[in-house]
Amino acid sequence: MSFVYHGNYVKYFEMGRIAWLKNKGISYKDMEDNGIINPVIDLKINFRKPALFDDKLILTTSLKQAPSYMIEFNYQIHREKELLTHGYTKLIFLNSENKKPIRCPDYILKKIKMA
């Protein structure tokens, strides 16, 4: 087909989210080591134009709003200046032992606000 498989966009969003957090000094591994997990509870992808296999894609990830029990990200994927896809994910902060929702830890809020 020569189009990028639609399921890859979820992986692109995850890569963008992990890189965005890492850029703020926040590590998923550190969160998990501290008993926090962040499962995705909502995902939306709007495909405007197809990406092709040899395209050089540019992914932009941004925080939608300050996190509370949840953290939300917006994504845009461009080919040069042309918007191909945009999307959104919502993740919830859970205690890894009892799987109950918890507030976003203060250390994460501080790192987000400092950057």
Sorted by where each starts, the structural domains of the chain and their CATH numbers stand as 8-114 (3.10.129.10)
* Residue 115 in this model has a pLDDT that exceeds 70: no
pLDDT in tens, 75-105: 999 999 999 999 999 999 999 999 999 999 9
Share of the chain above pLDDT 70, in %: 97
Residue holding tokens 């919502």? 90
Which of these, 70, 61, 72, lies nearest to 19 by C-alpha position? Answer: 61
Confirm if 74 and 86 have CB atoms less than 8 A apart.
yes
Cα–Cα distance, 114 to 105 (Å, whole number): 15
Helix (H/G/I), strand (E/B), else coil: 45: strand
